[in-house]
Each structure stands twice: as C-alpha cells, then as structure tokens.
C-alpha cells in the first residue's frame, strides 16, 4: 500500500536525495522547495508532487499543507529544510539570525503542530534532519548550532508525548555533508571522499530508520564521515 510523505527542502541537497530514496520505496511525496528547475528526475515521476513555496510565508504554508492533507492520510513528515550563516556572532546580521531560527526551528515545530493529528491517525513518523552541531560547542556557528540543538530538544520531548499514540520521532544528525549549506561560509566540506558525507548517505539513514522493525524506534541517528576535516574556500 502506497504511503504518503511531506518533506521540506526537497529541491536540493539532502532533501532531494531523500525524495529520490522515498520514491524507490513507493511513497507518494509532496516535496516543498523554492526552485525545482534542476530536479527533472523528481518532477518527472508521477508519485512526486512539487510544492514551490517559501517556508517563511507562514499563512501560505499552513493553507498549503491543509490542502495537501484534506481527505488524505499522512504517514511521514520529514523536516529537512535548513539554512546556515557562519562567523563571529556579532558579525551576523539580525535578518540572517532570524532566517536561521525560523527555517531551522520554527518551521519544523509549526509543521509538526499542523500535521500531528494526521500522523497520529496513521501511527506515522516524524524525521527531523538536525546536525552534529546540536550536541557540541560551535564557535563561528553559535546560532546555527543553537537552532539544531533546539530541534533535537523538540524531537526528544515530542517522542515522549506521542509514543503512546504509535507515532515515531527520529532526529538524524549528519556531520559535514557536501551540499550548498555552506554557501554563506568561508569553509566547505572536504573534497576527500573519506572526510565528507554525501546527501545519499543521509537518505540511506532515513531508509534505515523507516525499514527498522516496527517495535523499535531509532530516536537519534548520528552520521559522520571517517575523517574529520574541512577546507577553506579560495
């Protein structure tokens, strides 16, 4: 029986890889993103529905997800969209700080609030894509790490709240991944394949979580490359 998923950040990076993996698992997907111009493989699949939307337009987001789920079951919510700005904290603009807090923390909390009734009905799953920065000190990334720590805290509390209803909640915590998350940073993931994750590695973690024996919940899943190494941009 086909299951239905909503995923944010679906048009690039980790979110795009997760969508491709879910399609191979026979999910019907509503992928939320800003620009699907480079997603021909996704948008050419009839089981994938692109939802072009700015997640920070709160009213439109709420109306859209209510329309998507009207009269339809929902089995899976994956909060994957994220943004990062890096540097000394007093050098990051208030607008950039606000964007991080809203995208990385507010949107997942609000989306889960809107969709939790549907997920309880299906005994579904919430997967939040956080970061290893959620559980460590992050100089030059203090605010980013704080948003991911908040997401991890939310996930932990949510699981204890909804587990009695059969809802599973998992936080996946990737290390440096070769995506455009670092477009606003002075560093990027290493080119050494042993010192970076690929988006597909995180998508494989999602598959592992979803295919685990149903009596078991993997509440937190940390994924790291073998080597710890970053590169400065030219």
Q: Which residue has the tokens 């980013």?
A: 144
The domain in which residue 63 lies consists of: 3-232
Helix and strand counts by DSSP (H, E) for the chain: 7, 9
pLDDT band at 103; cut points 50, 70, 90: very high
pLDDT above 70 coverage of the chain, percent: 96
Mind listing the pLDDT tens digit for each residue in 61-95? Answer: 999 999 999 999 999 999 999 999 999 999 999 99
Please, what is the end-to-end C-alpha distance for the chain in angstroms? 50
DSSP designation for 194: G
Cβ contacts of residue 210 below 8 Å, gap of 6+?
A: 25, 76, 125
Does the pLDDT value for residue 108 go beyond 80? yes
3-class DSSP state of 28: strand
DSSP for residue 89: G
CA separation for the pair 151, 145 (Å, rounded)? 10
CA distances from 203 to 94, 207, 234 (A): 32, 6, 30
CATH of the domain at 90: 3.40.50.720
Q: How many domains does the chain have?
A: 1
DSSP state of 37: T
Q: What is the pLDDT of residues 193-210, one digit of tens each?
A: 888 899 999 999 999 999
* Pick from 170, 163, 157: nearest CA to 126: 170
Dihedrals φ, ψ of 141, to 5°?
A: -155, 35
- Count the Cβ atoms, other than its own, within 10 Å of residue 26: 10
Q: Which of 25-29, 136-140, 160-164 has the lowest mean pLDDT?
A: 136-140
Q: Report whether pLDDT(24) > 70.
A: yes
pLDDT single digits (tens) 162-183: 999 999 999 999 998 987 776 7
Instruction: Decide if 202 contacts 131 (C-beta within 8 A).
Output: no
Give every CB contact of residue 67 below 8 A, 6+ residues apart in sequence: none
| pLDDT the model gives residue 186 | 67
pTM strictly above 0.85: yes
Of all residues in the chain, the percent with pLDDT exceeding 90 is 84
What per-residue confidence (pLDDT) applies to 234?
66
């Amino acid at each position: 029986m086909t299951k239905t998923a909503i995923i944010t950040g679906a048009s690039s990076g980790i979110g795009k890889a997760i969508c491709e993996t879910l399609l191979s698992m026979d999910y019907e997907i509503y992928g939320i993103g800003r620009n699907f111009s480079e997603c021909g493989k996704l948008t050419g699949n009839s089981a994938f529905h692109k939802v072009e939307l700015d997640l920070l337009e709160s009213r439109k987001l709420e109306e859209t997800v209510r329309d998507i789920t009207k009269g339809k079951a929902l089995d899976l919510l994956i909060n994957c969209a994220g943004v990062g700005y890096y540097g000394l904290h007093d050098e990051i603009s208030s607008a950039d700080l606000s964007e991080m807090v809203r995208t990385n923390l507010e949107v997942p909390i609000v989306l889960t609030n809107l969709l939790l009734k549907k997920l309880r009905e299906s005994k579904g799953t919430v997967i939040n894509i956080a970061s290893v920065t959620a559980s460590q000190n992050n100089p030059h990334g203090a605010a980013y790490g704080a948003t991911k720590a908040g997401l991890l805290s939310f996930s932990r509390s949510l699981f204890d709240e909804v587990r009695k209803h059969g809802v599973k909640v998992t936080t996946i915590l990737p290390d440096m991944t070769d995506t455009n998350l670092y477009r606003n940073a002075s560093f990027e993931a290493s080119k050494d394949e042993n010192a970076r994750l690929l988006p597909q590695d995180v998508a494989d973690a999602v598959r592992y979580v979803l295919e685990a024996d149903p009596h078991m919940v993997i509440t937190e899943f940390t994924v790291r490359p073998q080597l710890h190494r970053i590169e400065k941009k030219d």
